Amino acid sequence: MKRAVVTLAHPEHVGMLRALAVLEGASARHGWQLSYALAAPTALAAATGLPPARTDVVPGLRRWRRFAGRVGLPLTVARLLRLVRGADLLYSCTLSSFPYCLFAGRLSGRPQVVHVYSSYGDGASYRKHLLAHARHVVAPSADSLELARAAIGGFAPGVQAAVAYNGMDVARIVAEAAGPTPVPLPTGPRIGMVGNLDRRKNPLVLVEAAAVLRARMPGVRVLLVGAFPEPGYEREVRSRIDALGLGDAVTVTGFLANPFPVVRALDVLVHPARRDPFPLALLEGMALARPIVASAVGGIPEMLEHDASGLLVASPDDAAGFAAAVGDLLLDDAQRARLGAAAKARLQDRFSLDGFAATMFGLFDAAVADGTR
């Protein structure tokens, strides 16, 4: 049984925790045991399936370039070195914790695998997290991998780089969606988005689209399923909701531990993200056979085929385009059913949990066998 130490710089990121829970559940079948090093304590880790007995907190495991991070870097690396005793590999499941894995791996002689989940708008973020020094790189989509490759001017000879599409536990999502609805649901046609309500996810364009759509369908209701991590951006969005006279039409749910009963109740799931490598929120919507309208950015065109398993809008800021696509679906029951069924079938065929786990543990095995540190 081989062992990997997994680092997570942002333990409040529910999507990352869910992806790790998938690996945790499959690890023994693939001959691995995982231990976890989180930058801060969080009840979400145990709630999503990470074992407390193998989960440690390593303060300082992020923001390594800031003054406090540089001062505390030796102590943070020393703590990782203690955790890595007897381990075979370090796995940084987000790029931001990779420098710590790199330093601890070089000092201990263990290989490091870095998962580039983020898709940054410029190359500086990839470079500042030392991606050019990585020897084993995995990304959630071909688009993400190419973006990272281009950002650092190409991977060095001998670097192992691969794509691991995230999988989804369809049975679990369907079962959780059958539970009680955690918030009151408005009557009328319901459209909505799910996730962190930040600028990258772009909820403001859904608000703008709703204003256009209401002229065509006065009864339409919008659910923003999630919370705003940035108070300034929340004020901007809420101000726009008021200015457009949508106060009675838009509901912000806040964070929901189980959002799936709400997702199941949506007539159309919308995802107007400006950048997104491979959004789990869309995989979850696909598991519930929701018809989806999304921006054609990042890895989304690898998830959904336009007009076959979803509708893609070329520009994430095209509010009129989103309004037109959503409005057409709301008026066409057969089209919604067709796209929803095709999305679920595509998920089951191409993005399985077993496929994700097999790819990831295969990469771990290859990194250990390669011997490149």
CATH code where residue 15 lies: 3.40.50.2000
**For residue 68, how far is the Cα from the chain centroid?**
28
Please check whether residues 183 and 58 belong to one and the same domain.
Answer: no
Shared domain for 135 and 77, answered yes or no, is yes
Please indicate, yes or no, whether residues 81 and 18 belong to a single structural domain of this protein. yes
Total number of domains in the chain: 2
**pTM of this prediction?**
0.86
CA within 13 Å, CB half, 346? 26
Cα distance between residue 151 and residue 131, in whole Å: 9
Is residue 140 classed as helix, strand or coil in its secondary structure? coil
Same domain (yes/no): 41, 182 = no
Cβ 321 vs Cβ 293: under 8 Å: no
Amino acid symbol at 341: A
The pLDDT value recorded for residue 372 is 55
Q: Are residues 150 and 205 in the same domain?
A: no
- Please write the tens of the pLDDT for every residue from 292-350: 999 999 999 999 999 999 999 999 999 999 999 999 999 999 999 999 999 999 999 99
Of 140, 144, 37, the residue nearest 91 (C-alpha): 37
Whether 223 and 322 map to the same domain: the answer is: yes
Asked if 163 contacts 16 with a C-beta cutoff of 8 angstroms, the reply is no
Identify whether the C-beta of residue 93 lies closer than 8 Å to the C-beta of residue 16: yes
Alpha-carbon separation of residue 161 from 91, 298, 366, 367 (angstroms): 14, 18, 11, 11
- The DSSP output letter for 156 is P
- 110 token code pair: 């263990």
Beta bridge partners of 136: 160
Q: Which residues of the chain have pLDDT under 70?
A: 372-373
Same structural domain, 89 and 232? no
Same domain flag for 218 and 157 = no
3-state secondary structure of 252: strand
- The predicted pLDDT at position 373 comes to 53
Residue pair 243/207 in contact by the 8 Å Cβ criterion: no
Find the DSSP H helices in the chain: 14-26, 43-47, 67-83, 98-108, 124-128, 142-151, 170-177, 203-216, 231-243, 260-264, 280-287, 300-303, 319-330, 333-350, 353-370
Same domain, 248 and 360: no
Task: Looking at the structure, tell me whether residues 212 and 342 fall in a common domain.
Answer: yes
Look-up of token digits 């543990």: 361
pLDDT of 72: 77
Which range marks the domain in which residue 14 is found?
2-167+352-370
Q: Are residues 144 and 232 in the same domain?
A: no
Regarding whether 337 and 316 lie in a shared domain, the answer is yes
Q: What is the pLDDT of residue 66?
A: 78
